[in-house]
Amino acid sequence: MTEPPLSHAEFGFPGPLRDSLVASILSGAKTTTTSLLVEYAVEGDPLPAVGRRQAVIDSAGQPVAIIETVQVDQVRLDQVPLSHVIDEGEGHVSVAQWRVDHEQYWHGEEMRSYLTDPAFTVRDETAVILERFQLIS
């Protein structure tokens, strides 16, 4: 019996940000990620679940690693803990610094286009999904 193909885990949009995030995953520095709840509605994707395995996709569209989800929480944007921020492996040392960078990404043209909402804006009460994963291979 063969296993079904793995779903894809795409971090950021293809380009320098994704390349950096994938490198952080491969090095073990990145073990968490944050996504907007609304992103799952766009594609009709189910929310992440503990035990889910995914193929990490690089900017060239190639699978480069397998990760497994080990924890999932849904919180308000203003409730993201510092431990999660640090474990994202992006060098943020405060939640405020993390939020500035993430708001820039979420308010960027690519994300607003993806969400088909040119005025999309996050607020304190915006629902986010906090996912912790481990590198399998």
Per-residue pLDDT reduced to its tens digit, 81-133: 999 999 999 999 999 999 999 999 999 999 999 999 999 999 999 999 999 99
Q: Is 1 exposed, middle or buried (0-12, 13-18, 19+ CB in 10 A)?
A: exposed
pLDDT of residue 19: 97
Residue 3 has pLDDT above 80, yes or no: no
Q: Is 124 exposed, middle or buried (0-12, 13-18, 19+ CB in 10 A)?
A: exposed
Residue 2 has pLDDT above 70, yes or no: no
- Tokens 């993430």: give the residue: 102
Q: Rounded mean pLDDT of 25-37?
A: 98
Q: What mean pLDDT, rounded, does the chain reach?
A: 96
Q: What is the DSSP letter of 79?
A: G
DSSP, collapsed to helix, strand or coil, labels residue 63 as strand
- 119 contacts: CB under 8 Å, gap ≥ 6: 112
